[in-house]
Amino acid sequence: MKMIYKISLLLILLVFSLFAGEFESFVKYKVGYGIFTLGEATAYLKIENATYKTEISAKAKGLAAVFSKERTEKYMSEGEVTNGRLVPYHFEKQSSYGGKKRHIEYFWDYENEQIAVDSENCKNGDCKYSSEIWNDDKYVENDILTLYHNIMFDFNKTGAKEINASAIGSKKPVVIILPDGKRLKTAKKTFDDKDGIYLVAILNQEIFTSDKGELYVNVDSDNTVSKAVLKKTMLFGDIWGERTEKRISGQRNGMNTTQ
């Protein structure tokens, strides 16, 4: 059962951060479907000496853990901070469930516009390895973690209301929107008119039968996401992620946009 993987996609969107200088944050979330809590995740980011490292880990809990065979997910990105943007040179993702494990690493060669990909797939201790080089239409300059940090930077810099972007770790391009009209009304109703910034992420893939995967996000004044809700899902209701813990040190920039 791939429920925890789809939950992880939701949680990856919960690590928006705007920063300046040296900065470190740790945020923890619980995730549920309707009235049920299905899992938890942690998000970590450290900026120091013009370099960054960010990690996301997620695991199922309770019955979700049983049905997903104790599935866990972990994503890590590291690289440089250049002109306010995160520029990855190494990204990896790991998953495990039952007797299966998967580990993939990506290494950027910006000069030649290539990405080296090394993968390991194991089943009950029997492992297979492969390596390949991505270029041309497979070459992208973001991974799934740097993508959202950089999108928030672009919102601030350009004043745009909608940004399309592709990244390693996302099967299709993602659209991030500063909502207005009907979507803004839906966001305010979803979060009970809570203060902060509202965002809508269109994941462009069917998740729990949600049309295109339309995720509503509420960002607090300190630029950590307090809650996110994946709308229009079947059976029990919305998928949601809610912050349960945060620790922040260092400088943090605010968003310049208003709604």
Domain ranges of the chain: 3-245
Query: Which residues does 21 contact at the CB level (< 8 Å), separation at least 6?
Result: 47, 250, 251
In this predicted model, what pLDDT tens digit does every residue of 160-214 receive, in sequence order? 788 887 788 666 777 888 888 998 998 999 899 888 888 888 766 554 444 556 7
- Of 139, 147, 93, nearest to 116 (Cα)? 139
Neighbours of 133 (CB within 10 A): 13
Lowest mean per-residue pLDDT among 29-33, 101-105, 124-128, 141-145: 29-33
**What is the percent of the chain with per-residue pLDDT over 90, rounded to a whole number?**
22
Query: Which residues does 166 contact at the CB level (< 8 Å), separation at least 6?
Result: 140, 142, 172, 173, 174
Q: What is the DSSP string of 179-229?
A: --HHHHHHHHHHTTT-SSEEEEEE--S-BTTBTT-EEEEEE-TTS-EEEEE
Taking the model in full, what pTM does it have? Answer: 0.81
Higher pLDDT, 163 or 121: 121
Residue 78 confidence (pLDDT): 96
In this predicted model, what pLDDT tens digit does every residue of 43-92 receive, in sequence order? 888 888 889 998 888 887 776 676 677 788 888 999 999 888 899 999 99
Choose the most confident range, by mean pLDDT, from 3-17, 102-116, 165-179: 102-116
Residue 5 confidence (pLDDT): 47
Pairing of strands 72-82, 174-177: unpaired
